[in-house]
């Protein structure tokens, strides 16, 4: 039986780049995020804004290896990096003064992966 591959080319490229940056920068956080993104779609994480609000402080950098959903509220500015965002989640993050970025953009900003929280 042949092994199934991810059909989403953006996801495949993101996983490859995360693994590459993990080995170049000796940052195991990127390899663990790549492993989470490699899981089947049903097992991938989906995190609500309320959970990010609960487990983060103002100015934190949070990574969600999956999708951020818009249920709940956020009352402080946080930088959230994820593979996908719902429209309402994106609006709420920006409204609170935070930033919503793609995971690979965070890798470019912080290649060593220091001071990052994984929520999921």
**What pLDDT, in 10s, does the model give residues 28-56?**
999 999 999 999 888 888 999 999 999 99
The secondary structure of residue 12, as a DSSP letter, is H
pTM score, whole prediction: 0.90
Place of tokens 């490859």: 16
Percent above pLDDT 90 for the chain: 88
pLDDT score recorded for residue 42: 86
Residue whose C-alpha is closest to residue 26's, from 107, 103, 108, 113 = 113
Residue 50 CA, chain-centre distance (Å), reads: 16
**What pLDDT, in 10s, does the model give residues 61-89?**
999 999 999 999 999 999 999 999 999 99
Helices of type H across the chain = 9-25, 28-37, 49-55, 87-95, 103-109
pLDDT score recorded for residue 1: 52
Distance (Å, whole) CA 88 – CA 108? 26
Whether the CB-CB separation of 34 and 107 falls below 8 Å is answered with no
Burial 17-37 (b: 16+ CB within 10 A, else e): bbbebbeeeebebbbbbbebb
Q: Flag whether pLDDT at 2 surpasses 70.
A: no
Complete domains list, the chain, with CATH: 9-118 (3.100.10.10)
Q: What angle do CA 91, 98, 101 make, to 5 degrees?
A: 80
């Amino acid at each position: 039986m042949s092994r199934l591959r991810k059909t989403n080319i953006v996801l495949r490229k993101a996983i490859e780049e995360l693994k590459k940056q993990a080995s170049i920068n000796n940052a195991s956080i990127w390899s663990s995020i790549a492993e989470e993104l490699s899981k089947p779609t049903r097992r991938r994480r989906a995190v609500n804004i309320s959970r990010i609000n609960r487990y983060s402080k103002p100015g934190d950098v949070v990574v969600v290896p999956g999708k951020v959903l818009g249920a709940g509220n956020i009352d402080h500015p946080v930088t959230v990096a994820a593979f996908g965002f719902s429209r309402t989640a994106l609006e709420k993050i920006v409204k609170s003064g935070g930033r919503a970025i793609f995971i690979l953009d965070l890798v470019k900003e912080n290649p060593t992966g220091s001071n990052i929280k994984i929520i999921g």
